[in-house]
Amino acid sequence: MGRRKLVVGNWKMNGMRSHLAEVEAIGRIAAERPVVEVGLCVPATLIMAAAERKGGAFIGAQDCHMNASGAHTGCLSAQMLAEAGAEYIIVGHSERREAQGESDADVAAKAAAARAAGLKVILCVGESLDVRDAGNAEAVVSAQLLASLPEGAAADWLAIAYEPIWAIGTGRIPTMEAVASMHAALRAALASRIGADEAQKMRILYGGSMSGDNAADLMAIADVDGGLVGGASLTAEKFAPVIAAAG
């Protein structure tokens, strides 16, 4: 399939204005590799400034509220984030599912809200180590994906990111065979909901300790269409080899 690789940095709760030079440097790298779609999901405080310096990359947000407005102190709507310069939004990251108690229904609602605001979405799914060790990972994550999919899910605005929770920030990753099997299972789950043709178009990213050391091997797997990258995206020096591995 001709799915264009998508490589997205998730800065999480990292980044001050002093880090905007890294945004510029990553934007220059992205401009030199147009075959790869490159983005940075930065803290909300940096979206507007980063969008002015993004170069060949896009700027995204790390979350949004499911409502367009209202009495939601401390929250940001997808429309607000779009106005600030975001083009993508991450929804359903395990750090929000676990620490903030977000349900699959919440994730689906946030994805729908982002779509309504004209934004693209990266929807995260993944399993705990207990689930992996019990041998239930593919069934559990496939069910989580189907329960989190918004109505009208389509490849032109939605990508999936598989992040085994136990691999995030730990340096551990599943075997290449396990990654391949999970991504194939997720594509099959998508096909059951949105049809085989649309499922083949949708990009499924791998996240969880992706770095310059392992990105080429991971992205050589047939159903791995890019990466959602944490710590290795914070500097251009570390992110550049991940982008290079994508194409």
- CATH number of the domain to which 52 belongs: 3.20.20.70
Model pLDDT, residue 169: 84
Residue 229: pLDDT above 80?
yes
Angle at which helix 104-116 crosses helix 137-148, to 10 degrees, equals 40
Range of the domain at 69: 6-245
Domain contains 10: yes
Of residues 208 and 107, more confidently modeled: 107
Separation CA 175–CA 179 (nearest Å): 6
The pLDDT tens digits of the residues spanning 40-54 come to 999 999 999 999 999
How many domains would you assign to the chain? 1
Domain contains 1: no
Model pLDDT, residue 242: 98
Identify the weakest region by mean pLDDT among 36-50, 57-71, 158-172, 225-239: 158-172
Separation CA 82–CA 54 (nearest Å): 15
Domain contains 12: yes
Residue 1: pLDDT above 80?
no
Share of the chain above pLDDT 70, in %: 100
Model pLDDT, residue 170: 87
Contact yes or no for 132/164 (Cβ under 8 A): yes
Identify the weakest region by mean pLDDT among 112-121, 162-171, 180-189, 226-235: 162-171
Residue whose entry in the numeric block shows the structure tokens 């999919």: 149
Domain contains 88: yes
Separation CA 37–CA 58 (nearest Å): 8
Domain contains 41: yes
Separation CA 179–CA 223 (nearest Å): 9
Share of the chain above pLDDT 90, in %: 96
Domain contains 55: yes
Q: Binding site membership for substrate: which residues?
A: 10-12, 169, 209, 230-231
The pLDDT tens digits of the residues spanning 145-181 come to 999 999 999 999 999 999 999 988 888 889 999 999 9
Model pLDDT, residue 172: 86
Of residues 62 and 167, more confidently modeled: 62
Give the count of beta carbons closer than 10 Å to the beta carbon of residue 30. Answer: 24
Q: Is the dihedral of CA 232, 122, 246, 170 positive or negative?
A: positive
Mean pLDDT rounded to a whole number for the chain: 97
| Residues recognised as catalytic | 93, 163
Residue 27: pLDDT above 70?
yes
Of the candidates 214, 208, 200, the one whose C-alpha atom is nearest the C-alpha of residue 230 is: 208
For residue 124 the two structure tokens come to 């995260």
Q: Binding site membership: which residues?
A: 10-12, 169, 209, 230-231
pLDDT confidence bin for 142, thresholds 50/70/90: very high
Model pLDDT, residue 2: 82
DSSP of the chain: --PPPEEEEE--S---GGGHHHHHHHHHHHHH-TTSEEEEE--GGGHHHHHTS-TTSEEEES--BSSSSSS-TT--BHHHHHHHT--EEEE--HHHHHHS---HHHHHHHHHHHHHTT-EEEEEE---HHHHHTT-HHHHHHHHHHHHPPTT--TTTEEEEE--GGGTTTS----HHHHHHHHHHHHHHHHHHH-HHHHHHS-EEEESS--TTTHHHHHTSTT--EEEESGGGSSHHHHHHHHHHT-
Model pLDDT, residue 168: 86
Domain contains 175: yes
Burial class (CB in 10 A: 0-12, 13-18, 19+), 20: middle
